[in-house]
Every structure is written in structure tokens, then in C-alpha cells.
Amino acid sequence: MPATEKTVRRSALVASAVLLSTALTAPAALAAPGPKPSATPPAHTSIVGGERLAKPGTQVNLAAGVPVLPKELSARSWIVADAESGEVLAAHNAHWRLAPASTLKMLFADTLLPKWPRTTTHRVEPSDLAGVGAGSSMVGVKEDETYSVHDLWLGVFLRSGNDAVHVLSAMNGGVDKTVQEMNEHAKELQALDTHAVSPDGYDAPGQVSSAYDLTLIARSGLQKKDFREYCSTVRAQFPGETKKNKKGKRVRGSFEIQNTNRLLSGDYDVPVYQGIAGVKNGNTTNAGATFTGVAERDGKVLLVTVMNPQKKGSNGVYKETARLFDWGFAAAGKVEPVGELVPPKSVEEANAAAGPSASPGQAGGGTGAGSKPVASADTGGGADGMGVALGIAGGVVVLLAGGAFLVNRRWPLPDLVRRRPRP
């Protein structure tokens, strides 16, 4: 199919999806979330990414040589996608609009990360922490203490700290302004199933997203070097409270925080997943457990999102994610995709205006094609040196040396590299 015809076809699909998503969003924004989401996915959902993804149930093109999907999958919704090409390899209720929990912090980070240098500091006022929900996950931000933006983002990504989210929101002009910007950014990403009410993912009436949207948001965030660094950091030192020591001198220590992403940090019943490098986990009463992860194996980079597994047991969301990663790496190059992760609206419009003969544009947040890739990085600030690195044991190897957003829908992750193996 000629490129221009593809562009026209996609534009028509997205236009239809915008209308459908608007119709779906309106009632949800007014409805208070119940104790449990509906057990039945809607019959009609958004067609962003392809008509197959609008259908309820599992969508996959099984054929000779394609491995069967894992049997032990209980999640209400999930998706497996190629992070580079954007191809959706398989999905289950991809556009089902569910409570996102703290995976919504990916949208918060993707929206606000570019606003301040990491060295910017802020003294926390009591009003900054107003409105943090009861029972929220906290990193331990204290009033009247000063933190760097780097510290606060580590608190957001590693400990999912709602206190850190609210401080950054205050720096941005307040929660309402931040939520408005998050929703505007979601529309730009064509994450049309998503409606933010709180910046931290805390349960709120009408706050929803989908496995498809969370994957789009993660893919956008991973274009940013800082985002990759924070989401791949396993542990770091976080500033403590200033106190007087035995000599009466005021001193400020620090304490260790560890990433709550169990595929990255490991747990008693979940080993560190080979090649994992983030992205974000969440868990609330209404959302259940949610998780979006990115991993690399043999030069292939995959994104997997899992929402609300129904099977009881410890760390179920990570176990189901690991099974889907295993399937995706085994199926990559063999299975025909069932849809695609669409590019941001502005990029798609620019490509459509430029036409098929135009030179490829630069992927958002990336480096130029001629730029030198980053081979490794240290998070600094007391982090354990995982940095932006992504990957498996066996050294530091460049996966992608920058890249362009092409008309053929390829969206490489610029300067994404393998992560040093954990000791």
C-alpha cells in the first residue's frame, strides 16, 4: 500500500477513534468508581491502533511456528508490543478503560520531566503536601526540607511516592494545572482512553486508562533520557530529615530506597527478569495490581502492560508480565501483528503534511541519527549505577544509536543501551 494511502487511512481511523473515545469518556468522568470494575469488557472500544484492538477478548494471529500464549493469564487487560516498530504482537481487551493506579505516574513524569533541570531545588511547604490521599505510598518527603528535582523524581519512580508527586505538582502551579496538562499530553499521545483526575494515580471517580494507553505513554517516556534513568534505577539514597546530633550540630543524613518494581529489584518469589529496565507498577483498591514493563533480549525491545490480574497470589502482576515477555520474545519475528502503537498526533500530522518523499523527522526526545549513543550512565546522587542502561548480563552493548521517526512507523528508542547486570 502506498505511504500516502496509509497516512490517509490512519488519519481516518484516528478521527473515528477520537469521536468514539469522547463518547466513552463523558459518562465515565461522572461516575464514581465502584469497589470492583465490571467483570465484562465493553463490546465496543477505541479503534486507535487498529480495528482488532477494539474487539473484546484475546487478539493474536497464531500460525505455524508461533508459540501458544501462556495458559496462566488472569488479567482483565494486557498487551505485548514491539517498542521499536510499534507493532502489537498480541492483546487482550487492549482498550478496556480501567483504573490505572500508579502506572498513571508515567504520564505525570512524561508531562513534567522536561520542566526543570535535575539540579533545581525546592523547599517543601506544608501546602505542597495537602491533598495526599490516605494510605498513599510515600517516599518520606518532609515539610521545611529542601530537595532537588532529581531526589523527587527518584521518589516518584522508585517508591511511587505520592508525596513527591504532590511537591512536583506544587512546583508546577498546583494539582489542577498539572492534571490539566497531563490530560492535554494524553491527547497529544493519542492515549484517548486516558482521563487523569489525580496526578499520582490515587483512586478517583472517572480516573481511567487502558493497557494500550499505558503502553503508548511508556513508549513516549522512554524517549527521554531522564525517564529511562529513573525507571531503571534499582536503589538510591534519599535525603532524610535534618536533626541535631549529639554535639548539637544540625545534620542531615539519608536513607536507602529501593524500586518497588519486582521484576527489576526481585522478591522472594519473583526473580529479576533478564533484560528488564522498568517501567512502572501500581496497586490500589479499585485498580488492583497494574504494571508496564520494558525489556530487551537478543536485540529485541518489548513493552508489556498487565492490568488487574484476577488470580490470587503474591506478585501475580509480575509473574503474568514475565510470562508475556517470554512469549513475546519467542514470538517476535514469527507472529503477524494485530495492531500498532500510533505515534503522537503532532508527529503523525507532520508526516502527513510532509508526504512520503520527505526526509524522516527526529523521534521526540531523541538524538540525531549521527549522534554518538550513550554506552552507559551512572544515576549519581547515591544510586547504584544502573542508570539508563537496559539489558542482560554480558557487558555494555549499544542497541540503538539514535534514530528517526519514519513514515513506515518505526520509532526507535534513542541511545537505549543494555543495563549492567546486577551483582
Q: For 235-260, what is each residue's pLDDT tens digit?
A: 999 999 999 888 889 999 999 999 99
Q: Give the C-alpha separation, 286 to 36, whole Å.
A: 6
Residue, of 422 and 160, whose pLDDT is higher: 160
Residue, of 407 and 174, whose pLDDT is higher: 174
Answer for the pair 361, 351: CB distance below 8 angstroms, yes or no. Answer: yes
Give per-residue pLDDT as tens, 1-47. Answer: 444 444 444 444 444 443 333 333 333 333 334 445 567 889 889 99
Check pLDDT > 70 for residue 78. yes
Mean pLDDT of 382-396: 34
pLDDT of residue 274: 92
Closest CA relative to residue 193, chosen from 104, 60, 108, 82: 104
Q: Which amino acid is at 272?
A: V
Check pLDDT > 60 for residue 113. yes
Confidence band of 226 (pLDDT split at 50, 70, 90): very high
Check pLDDT > 80 for residue 228. yes
pLDDT of residue 350: 84
Residue, of 202 and 314, whose pLDDT is higher: 202
pLDDT of residue 405: 27
pLDDT of residue 59: 98
Please pick, among 46, 136, 137, 160, the residue that the annotation labels catalytic. Answer: 160
Mean pLDDT of 346-375: 51
pLDDT of residue 422: 42
Please pick, among 105, 224, 280, 319, the residue that the annotation labels catalytic. Answer: 105
Please pick, among 46, 102, 137, 209, the residue that the annotation labels catalytic. Answer: 102
Tell me how far the alpha carbon of residue 155 is from its chain's centroid.
16
Tell me how far the alpha carbon of residue 373 is from its chain's centroid.
22
**Residue 142 annotated among the catalytic residues of the structure:** no
Cα–Cα distance list, 276 to 227, 260, 284 (Å) = 15, 13, 23
pLDDT of residue 352: 81
3-state SS string for the chain: CCHHHHHHHHHHHHHHHHHHHHHHHHHHHHCCCCCCCCCCCCCCCCCCCCHHHHCCCEECECCCCCCCCCCCCCEEEEEEEECCCCEEEEEECCCCCECCHHHHHHHHHHHHHHHCCCCCEEECCHHHHCCCCCCCCCCCCCCCCEEEHHHHHHHHHHHCCHHHHHHHHHHCCCHHHHHHHHHHHHHHCCCCCCECCCCCCCCCCCCEECHHHHHHHHHHHCCCHHHHHHHHCCEEEEEEEEEECCCCCEEEEEEEEECCCHHHHCECCECCCCCEEEEEEEEECCCEEEEEEEEEECCEEEEEEEEEECCCCCCHHHHHHHHHHHHHHHHCCCCECCEECCCCHHHHHHHHHHCCCCCCEECCCCCCCCCCCCCCCCCCCCCCCCCCECCCCCCCCECCCCCEECCCCCCCCCCCECCCCCC
Mean pLDDT of 348-359: 70
Q: Give the C-alpha separation, 76 to 40, whole Å.
A: 9
Q: What is the pTM of this model?
A: 0.80
Closest CA relative to residue 199, chosen from 227, 149, 226, 165: 165
**Residue 244 annotated among the catalytic residues of the structure:** no
Answer for the pair 254, 239: CB distance below 8 angstroms, yes or no. Answer: yes
Cα–Cα distance list, 159 to 104, 105, 225, 231, 262 (Å) = 14, 11, 20, 11, 12
Provide, rounded to the nearest whole percent, the portion of the chain with pLDDT above 90: 67
**Residue 77 annotated among the catalytic residues of the structure:** no
Answer for the pair 36, 42: CB distance below 8 angstroms, yes or no. Answer: no
Average pLDDT, the chain: 81
Q: Give the C-alpha separation, 202 to 198, whole Å.
A: 6
Answer for the pair 59, 96: CB distance below 8 angstroms, yes or no. Answer: no
Provide, rounded to the nearest whole percent, the portion of the chain with pLDDT above 70: 75
pLDDT of residue 371: 31
User: What is the DSSP pairing of strand 121-123 with strand 235-244?
Assistant: unpaired
Mean pLDDT of 299-322: 94
Residue 56 cell numbers, joined: 473484546
Closest CA relative to residue 333, chosen from 94, 91, 59, 85: 85
